[in-house]
Amino acid sequence: MKLSGCGKLSLSPLTGHWFRALSLRHWNTRLSTAHSSIYRSRFSDASAAMRSYRMLYLGENHQVAIFEVGALLGDPDDPISNPRGSWALMSIRVTLHHVADISDPAQQKIISTNHQELTGSWINSPRPVPTHQLGAALHAVPDLEGILYPSAKSNNRNLAIFMDKLTKRSSISFFNELTNNSESLV
């Protein structure tokens, strides 16, 4: 991977609905991303001992979101429901101005990566993990608010948002049908 190429990635605006699957036990903190600064994820090596940037991960559609959190298991064409836990699906309205699409092979070439490296399971790998290094390098790119990347669970994309890099013109909101109000993610 060529992290020095991160600043050369094309940045585009992104507006639309993306989806978050949330365990019902976390419903009261549905708009929070504070936990992401202390838990490791695809693009962050955070821990309680070493806090990191806050991230919000969203799926391109309902199915991607529930596969990514493990609510559905197995092959996307023949899924198996995970009986552990209950899940809420949230439709999140996103307006971002500077997003890199690293699911695009042309953009992957700029940073010398590929689909396998972006979607690989690094859980038992020695550190540093390539996607954690990439996340830190992308976080350091001025103005970059988020990245589109391939899902490891389906043939779709995910969106990772660097919450502390959102511009004043950007927004992330959820229309809560229970209260009939729009809520902003923080």
Tens-digit pLDDT string for the chain (186 aa)? 999 999 999 999 999 999 999 988 888 888 888 888 888 888 888 888 888 999 999 999 999 999 888 887 887 778 888 888 889 999 999 999 999 999 999 999 999 999 999 998 877 777 788 999 999 999 999 999 999 999 988 889 999 999 999 999 999 999 999 999 999 986
- Asked if 153 and 67 touch (Cβ cutoff 8 Å), the reply is yes
AA identity, residue 148: L
H or E segment and range at residue 115: helix 115-119
Q: Measuring CA to CA, which residue among 129, 130, 127 is closest to residue 112?
A: 130
Report the pLDDT value the prediction gives residue 172, as an integer from 0 to 100: 96
CA neighbours closer than 13 Å in the CB half-sphere of residue 2: 11
Report the pLDDT value the prediction gives residue 9, as an integer from 0 to 100: 97
Report the pLDDT value the prediction gives residue 34, as an integer from 0 to 100: 86
Reduced to 3 states (helix: H, G, I; strand: E, B; else coil), residue 96 is strand
Give the ranges where 24-170 is alpha helix by DSSP (H): 62-68, 105-110, 115-119, 130-139
**What predicted TM-score, i.e. pTM, was given to this entire model?**
0.92
Specify the DSSP class assigned to residue 6.
G
- Asked if 18 and 159 touch (Cβ cutoff 8 Å), the reply is yes
Residue whose token pair is 């821990």: 47
H or E segment and range at residue 73: strand 72-75
